[in-house]
Structure formats: C-alpha cells, structure tokens
C-alpha cells in the first residue's frame, strides 16, 4: 500500500478514487482491516495536541499483532510487515506535520485582503489568527468566511458549523458573526457559536464579556452575560436562554466529546462530523435514547459506539463504502 495513499486517507484528503483503491485493498483481509483501525487510532493519538501518548507501547502492540498473524506465504507476510511498518513510520516520523495536517491547522489572515475562506477538515480542529489579535477555533467540517468592511467599520465573519471566538474588541470597529438567521455582535467577548445546517437551532454561548444577539435585519433580540447560552430556534423564530459551564465549551477544542443529556440522534451528528461517517437508524426508538458523559476524540468511532451501546443496549453494524463515507446502521 503506497504511503501517500495512506497519508491521504488518514488526513481526510483522499479523493473518491483513492478511497475506492484503499478500501478495496483493505476489505480483502479482515485482519489487515483491524490493524488499519488500530493504526488510525495511534495516528490520531499521536497527532492530538496536548495529548501524552506512549507511542513506544502502542507501536509494540501493533508490531506484535503484525508478527503474529496466521502463517501465510513468505512474500505475503513480508509485504504485510513492510506495508504496516511503512505506515507506522509515517506516523512516527511526520510528527509535527501530522499534527498540522490533522489537528493543528493554523491560518494567519493577511492584514489587507478581501473575503477569505477557512475550512477545518473532518476529524480536525483548526485555528485562525488575525492581525488585530482575534483568535478563532474552527471545529471539524466547519467553514468560516471573513472580511474587513472599512467603509462601514466592521469586521464580518460568516459561519457554517461551530467555532470558538476570542475577539479583540474595538469600540470603533465591531466584530460580527453572521450565523444564518442571527448575527452575534461582540462587546469585548469570548464566545462559542454552533450553527450546523442540519440542526433546527443556532446556539451562542458566552464565556467572557458581553454579546448581542441580533436578527438578520439588525434588530436586537437579547444580550448575553457570561455563563449564558442562547438557543435560537429557526422554525419558531424564538430564543431560549440556558446556563452553561465554560469547560463544556472548551472541551471540543481539547479533543473531547462532551455529552449532556443528549439524544442519540443528536450525538451521531457530531460523530458524523468528526469521523466522516454516515448514520442510519433502522430502530427508530434508538433516536430518543439519551446519554451523558465525556469521551476522548482520540479513540475510534467503533469504541465510542461500543461505550454508548453498553448503557442503552442498541446494536449497530458498519458498512464500508470504498467510494464514500462508511455507513453505520443502528438497529
């Protein structure tokens, strides 16, 4: 298996043709499939910022599995060992590059430019740094546009997905986040905005300072104080205020899924964004199962589902798609 192909698969940059080539090779041997998912887990752990990983122990575990596969022809075994040794070498030698590609993309916005667009790859968290000192964390699969309107003295961001903002406040040059049906205006602020198209609400949560929630026409709807979260329900066009803990907002930036009495249907949306998989419910009752807990994103989607299914007793199966995202069926 060619190393560049593997690297594209691990970073989420593979084309449909590359995915098809990769998974056709992988599905021929279930043992190699198991080794790949352990390798992928090691890749994610080694790439996660602020995560301490015993790569030597992980390497030894994977290497033992390679050496103790059922006996096969010397040529085939040799190819297997060399192939996976090359994969592991990619992880252990790319190092900083792996963190850049998978988890640590940092974009620096030029001082003078037009509209810029930023995207976080699936399974990644990207950071954006602006010349004025503003920093933004962009969650997996999210997109952000940004421009400076000097005529009207505004800094304007457009968001699809989820982002965490640390805004350098300027009274004479406000920072606005257009999240579809609402606009968030900073008043010296650290805040989180979640605006996924598949959700029926837009959530704005304030950590520090103050923030105004405006309608798309500029009408003030509510002013948030620290520890408050505003859910704007698109269908009803109403706002609901809730209290929220700051550590919950920082969790996704630190590599954790934080589940707060959430339905399984809502949880799998986040899993889809992170792991680039699709879910389908055959058991419709399972949609309403509720969960609370913290799970590290450095684990595999199989492990997350195993943990969830232990408490709710639902079953699932994974269907691999060579030309697209894998499908996970809950039944």
HEC string of 192-259? EEEECCCCCEEEEEEEECCEEEEECCCCEEEEECCCEEEEEECCCCEEEEEECCHHHHHHHHHCEEEE
Q: Give pLDDT, residue 39.
A: 67
Q: Say how far apart CA 120 and CA 138 lie, in whole Å.
A: 6
> Which of 290, 224, 207 minimizes the C-alpha distance to 232?
224
Q: Which residues contact 71 (CB under 8 A, 6 or more apart)?
A: 77
* Backbone phi and psi for residue 261, each to the nearest 5 degrees, phi listed first: 45, 50
C-beta separation of 229 from 210 below 8 A: no
- Helix/strand/coil for 61: helix
pLDDT the model gives residue 290: 92
Question: pLDDT per position in the chain (331 positions), as tens?
Answer: 455 676 677 666 677 777 777 777 776 766 666 667 666 666 655 554 444 444 455 555 655 665 555 555 554 544 544 555 555 555 555 443 344 334 456 666 665 567 899 988 777 788 899 989 999 999 888 999 999 999 999 999 999 999 999 999 998 999 999 998 999 999 888 999 999 888 889 999 999 999 999 998 889 999 999 999 999 998 888 999 988 876 677 778 877 888 888 899 989 988 988 888 899 999 999 999 999 888 888 778 888 898 898 888 889 998 877 777 889 999 9
DSSP letters spanning 88-136: HHHHHHHTHHHIIIII--EEE--SS-S-EEEEPPTT--EEEE-TTS-EE
Q: Which domains does the chain have, with CATH numbers?
A: 3-100 (no CATH), 105-249 (2.60.120.1440), 255-330 (3.55.50.30)
pLDDT at residue 329, as a whole number:
95
Q: Are 44 and 123 in contact (CB under 8 A)?
A: yes
Confidence (pLDDT) at 231 = 93
Beta strand pairing call for 327-330 and 278-281: parallel
- Within 8 A by CB and 6+ apart from 148, the residues are 113, 154, 155, 156
Neighbouring residues of 3: CB distance < 8 A, sequence distance ≥ 6: 86, 87, 90
What is the token pair recorded at 242?
């809730």
Q: Which of 1, 19, 21, 17 is nearest to 9 (CA)?
A: 19
Question: What does the alpha-carbon distance between residue 256 and residue 305 come to, in Å, rounded to a whole number?
Answer: 15
State in Å, rounded, how far the first CA of the chain is from the last one.
34
Residue 81's pLDDT is 44
The continuous run of DSSP H or E covering 13 comes out as none
- Contacting residues for 164 by C-beta, under 8 A, at least 6 apart: 136, 137, 139, 190, 191, 192, 249, 250, 252, 253
pLDDT of residue 97: 39
């Amino acid at each position: 298996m060619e190393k560049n192909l593997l690297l594209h698969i691990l970073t989420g940059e593979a084309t449909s043709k590359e995915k098809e080539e990769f998974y056709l090779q992988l599905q021929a041997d279930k043992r190699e499939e198991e080794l790949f998912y352990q390798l992928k887990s090691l890749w994610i752990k080694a790439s996660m910022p602020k995560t301490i990983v015993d790569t030597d122990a992980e390497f030894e575990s994977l290497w033992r599995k390679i050496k103790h596969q059922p006996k096969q022809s010397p040529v085939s075994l040799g190819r297997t060992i060399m192939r996976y040794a090359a994969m592991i070498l990619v992880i252990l030698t790319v190092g900083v590059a792996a963190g850049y590609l998978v988890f640590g993309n940092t974009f620096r916005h030029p001082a003078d430019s037009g509209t810029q667009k930023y995207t976080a790859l699936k399974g990644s968290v990207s950071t954006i740094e602006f010349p004025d000192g503003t920093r933004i964390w962009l969650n997996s699969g999210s997109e952000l546009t940004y421009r400076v309107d000097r005529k009207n003295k505004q800094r304007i961001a457009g968001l699809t997905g989820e982002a965490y903002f640390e805004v350098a406040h300027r009274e004479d040059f406000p920072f606005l986040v257009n999240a579809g049906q609402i606009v968030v205006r900073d008043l010296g602020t650290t805040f989180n905005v979640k605006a996924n198209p598949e959700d029926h609400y837009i959530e704005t949560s304030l950590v520090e300072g103050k923030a105004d929630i405006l309608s798309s026409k500029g009408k003030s709807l509510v002013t948030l104080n620290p520890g408050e979260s505003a859910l704007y329900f698109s269908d009803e066009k109403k706002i609901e205020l809730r209290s929220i803990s700051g550590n919950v907002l920082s969790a996704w930036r630190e590599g954790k899924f934080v589940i707060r009495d959430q339905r399984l249907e809502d949880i799998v949306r986040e899993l889809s964004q992170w792991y680039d998989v699709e879910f389908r419910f055959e058991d419709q009752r399972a949609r309403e199962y509720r969960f609370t807990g913290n799970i590290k994103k450095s684990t595999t989607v199989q492990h997350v589902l195993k943990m969830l299914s232990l408490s709710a007793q639902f079953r699932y199966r994974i269907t691999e798609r060579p030309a697209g995202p894998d499908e996970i069926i809950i039944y």
